[in-house]
Structure 1
Amino acid sequence: MTIDTPRLQARVAELLAEYAIPSAAIGVLHDGEIAEFAIGVKNVETREPATTDTIYQCGSMTKTWTALAFMQLVDEGKVDLDAPVRTYLPGFTVADPEASAKVTPRHLLYHANGIEEVFDDPGEGDDVYERIVDNITTAPQVFPLGYTHGYSAALGYAILARILEVIDGKRWDDVMQDRLFDPMGLTSTNSWREQVDHTRAATGHLIRSLDEGPIITPVDHLPRAFGAGGGITSTTREVLAMAHVLLNSGTAPNGKRIVSADSIREMASSRVPVPDPYMFGPEWALGLIVCDWRGETVYATDGSTIGQNARLRLLPDSGTAIAMLTNGGPRESFYRKVFNEILIDLGTAAIPDLPAPDPTLNLDLARYEGVYGRPGARYEVSAKGGKLYLTLVLDPMQAELLQKPDHIRYELLPVSETHFLMPPADPLEDAQTVAIYDFANGTAQYLHTNCRVNPRLS
């Protein structure tokens, strides 16, 4: 291991102060060895220091865990990735007849199902995934089945969890314990907040201004409906145990085989293109994002809750994994700076920058103008003075919580005919990229940002 831990600790401490993030726990797996450290505090009010044993919320990194458990069913011949969901859930129905009959686990695993996240309130009981499936009979399509990529925060993996429950005859939480956590020897990883040792847990924080600094989040956990897609809590070392499975053909650090080598290859190679290839990666695989770092293929899995953030990058060419868990953020520029410091020490590929605008492009701006959105999200794209602008319309409760205006305008700088760089409108934000695409009817039909797809509304 060539990690200069004292240098990294000092640099991460500087960055935590700059970004007003209370703490970060970082672990690096390289050549079979682990280096890890933690900087900062678990809670800004108690000032209790974070350690490498601190438990953080992993958010949507959970999807990779759920995908691994599902691939065990594939190994056992109990499910086929390309069989209709109805094979395992006979009453499965959504509003669109084709999606009802033809959506498969593969569609769900790489977010090409297109089903809107409309499932009412399924409650917090052990039957949450059964209730979600029962509640989506009128859920419409955001896009036709398999037509594009559109990230599903909860619904897609809730359906996969229900298949796991039906086949194993137990709730998803117990499936994860029996299929993954116990065989891997994990004692700090849990799927449900009531299982967490709260004396070791980090507290989530939000930041509304640099002057105010981080405040404790008023929403300290996600609803149980998000469990299979975002409910796992863990430590950096145990996140790296999952990384070890992915990097070592399905084998855990304790030598136990978790999934077959064929399943690991399938998870990495079965992919759909992502409309916005710049922010996270150009393709999405089965429970993994596929990145291109200057010609090197890197796999990613990330997650956020309301006040915590998790990042994992897998570099198969060098047998390396880097994990970072924080109780603030997410901030893309913070993650890039921290990980690039580590990558410099390892002598591996650095994270590429976002693309630069192309000032020579002469676009017909009218083709992009319109309103795009879905429940909980609204984007208004307009042209003025030869420039294109995006106005983000925030939910009033979200705007009040973050102390932001409910309409925030950004300029869109063209990178290509379908991709734009969106500079930040606030010091607490980072630049983002946006895809506005599919001109089948003369005007763009979809806006894709932060992995979510939003169809044209008007």
Structure 2
Amino acid sequence: MAALVEIEKWLAEAVPGAIERYDVPGAAWAVLAGGEVVDGAAGVLSKATMVEATADSVFQIGSITKLWTATLVMQLVDEGKVDLDVPIRTYLPEFQIADESAAARITTRQLLCHTAGFEGDIFTDTGRGDDCVEKFVRELRGVAQLFPPGEQFSYNNAGYCVLGRLVEVLRNSPYDECLRDHLITPLGLTHTAPGPYEAILYRAAVGHIETEPGAGYHPAPVWSLVRSNAPAGSSLAMRPRDLLTFAQLHLNDGKAADGTQVLAPGTAGRMHDRQVELPDLGLMGTSWGLGFERFENGDALIIGHDGGTIGQSAFLRILPEAGVAVALLTNGGDVVSLYREVAGHVLEQLAGVHLPALPEPPTKPERIDASRYVGTYEADVLEMTVGQDEDGRIWLVQKPKGVFEELGGQVERKELLPYGENSLIPVDADRGMHLPHVFLGDDGHGHALYLHIGRAVRRAGA
């Protein structure tokens, strides 16, 4: 096993070349082992300003914020203020979605592990005031139910906004203040910003996006997504060392560095336990806990989460048994390839653990009858149409909608190949990976009811 000092040296030497290779403007990292942390950075925070990235620079952590929201909820469970298995309406009687029967049954546990079943990619802008999360939840009353609560996993951003509102109501404070009072301050974090007004006090990274494939990465036109989605990950930013201080809380059975019990003994472990299995989705985990993504890799369990905002991507991986964690924060480019090179080396050297292999398209694909898959699948932010031509080739046309279109998303056409049972996989990689497209259920006419890409996207008209 390599010593942490050797890892520190390797990162300082290897990452500058890697970010250039993968067209990543800037990156910052931190590694935890044996209770010690090393960190560093390379590249720039913005191509517009060319300000150098440093270890104390703050990057958005995106959906890794969901682990923080889940931890705030579990503190309420510790205090006896929340029962995970009663309807969320017990605490939020105003919660409504289009399906009244589902709304009356959805529980806090189902929201935490993404099995609530309603359309999840909702990014309604309800302003910048302290009441924005409250207003957001009110706007969910017309959102469609995709499947019965608890039936399957479907990643749900809106569900975490509901959880954020739960925290606000039971703490009688805005979400940002709850973060500060119950996590940021008890953990002694010094470079953590709930939003842009705090982030501007530090060296803050700017996301970079491609307006069209091959055009190169340029600074994004806006810094963050809307504040109403803060509990799901729209704006929380921090340096990697602060993110690993949060990880230490989960490695130390709920204790902060000064011994403060931020979570009750045993609660962190329950958050890490398996709650729901996932389809074979490649980069995502094999199962999910109460907030935590789980990668069951042979005898080794890796937990963590990924995050993506407007041109910023974040990765957190924790090995509970080894007491090892790595955080990588980036602001554009082929971030998956960079993550696999950095995290893969660190976890192998410090714990002898290999990252699970990414899915690859077959080298000798079979021709199949894709009639079960053909059709249009539609969600709030995208429309995906699967077709098969006269030569038997399968094509996917993906059109952005709503906020994704407003942010410059482009229509994409890609060829898909057969990949395992009920799955297709793109021929070409997207940002370093080939994402399997899994087809589930039956619409009653022999066609798949859902196209699952981490979210269960329902067949249009079904």
- The alignment's TM-score, normalised by the length of structure 1, stands at 0.92
Q: Deviations over 1:158-187 (max 9, x none)?
A: 111111111111111111111111111112
Q: In structure 1, what residue type is equivalent to 2:245? A: A
1:292 partnered with 2:292: no
Structure 1 residue 261, shift from structure 2 partner = 2.9
Partner of 2:377: 372
Query: Is 1:325 paired with 2:321?
Result: no
**Structure 1 unaligned blocks of 5 or more:** none
Change (3 A) 1:409 1:211: closer
**Per-residue deviation, 1:357:** 4.8
Q: Which residue of 1 aligns with 2:182?
A: 179
Aligned 1:162-241 pairs, distance under 5 A: 162-208=165-211, 213-230=216-233, 231-241=235-245
1:26 to partner: Cα distance? 0.8
Range with greater deviation from structure 2 (13-22 or 113-122): 113-122
SS in 1 for 2:19: helix
Please point out which of 354, 359, 371 is paired with 1:355: 359
Q: Secondary structure at the match of 1:298?
A: strand
**Per-residue CA shift, 1:124-161, capped at 9, x if unaligned?**
211112112222222221222222211112x1111111
Which residues of 2 match residues 335-354 of structure 1 at below 5 A? 335-354=339-358
**1:190-218 CA distances to partner (integer Å, 9 max, x unpaired)?**
22222223442112212357976431110
Distance 2:427 2:59 in 1: 30
Identity of aligned residues (%): 36
Q: Structure 1 residues 140-149 or 118-127, which shifts more?
A: 118-127
Q: What is the correspondence of 1:28-427 to structure 2 with a 5 Å cutoff?
A: 28-117=31-120, 118=122, 120-153=124-157, 155-208=158-211, 213-230=216-233, 231-329=235-333, 331-357=335-361, 363-384=368-389, 385-395=391-401, 404=410, 406=411, 408-424=412-428
Q: 1:73, 1:33 → 2: CA distance?
A: 30
**Take 1:446 and 1:307, find their aligned partners in 2: how far apart are those partners?**
28
Q: Residue 119 of structure 1 contacts residue 136 of structure 1 at CA under 8 Å; is this kept in 2?
A: no
1:318 aligned counterpart, secondary structure: coil
Partners of 1:360 and 1:306 lie apart in 2 by 35
- Kept in 2, the 8 Å contact 1:69–1:176? The answer is yes
Q: Secondary structure at the match of 1:15?
A: helix
1:23 aligns with 2:26: yes
Cα deviation, residue 45, structure 1: 2.6
Q: Is the 8 A contact 2:366 2:418 kept in 1?
A: yes
SS at match of 1:444: coil
CA contact (8 A) 2:274 2:287 kept: no
Aligned-partner Cα distance in 2 for 1:403–1:100: 32
Matched to 1:175, the amino acid is C
Shift of 1:396: 9.4
The alpha-carbon distance between structure 1 residues 290 and 344, as it changes in their structure 2 partners (threshold 3 A), is closer
What code does the residue aligned with 1:394 have? P
Distance in 2 of aligned mates of 1:276 and 1:341:
24
Structure 2 runs not aligned, ≥5 long: none
Q: Tell me the number of residue pairs that the alignment of Structure 1 and Structure 2 aligns.
A: 453
1:281 aligned counterpart, secondary structure: coil
For 1:275, the aligned partner's letter is P
Displacement after TM superposition at 1:440 (Å): 6.3
For residue 348 of structure 1, what is the amino acid of its counterpart?
G
Offset of residue 271 of structure 1: 1.4
Task: Tell me the CA shift for residue 77 of structure 1.
Answer: 0.3
Secondary structure in 1 aligned to 2:141?
coil
Stretch deviating more after TM superposition (417-426 or 394-403): 394-403
Note if 1:446 corresponds to 2:450.
Answer: yes
Output one character per residue of 1:192-249: Cα deviation in whole Å (capped at 9) or x when no partner. 2222234421122123579764311102111011111112111111100111011121
SS at match of 1:261: coil
Letter in 2 for 1:171: P
Q: How far does residue 386 in structure 1 lie from its aligned partner after superposition?
A: 2.8
Describe the superposition over 1:257-289 as per-residue Cα deviations: whole angstroms up to 9, x where unpaired.
111232112211141122234221111211111
* SS state at 1:17 partner: helix
Report the Cα offset of residue 425 of structure 1. Answer: 6.3
Partner AA of 1:306 in structure 2: I
In 2, Cα distance between equivalents of 1:360 and 1:402:
33
58-67 vs 35-44, greater mean Cα deviation? 35-44
Is the 8 Å Cα contact of residues 143 and 455 (structure 1) preserved in structure 2? no
Paired residue for 2:17?
Answer: 14
Greater CA drift, 331-340 or 65-74: 331-340
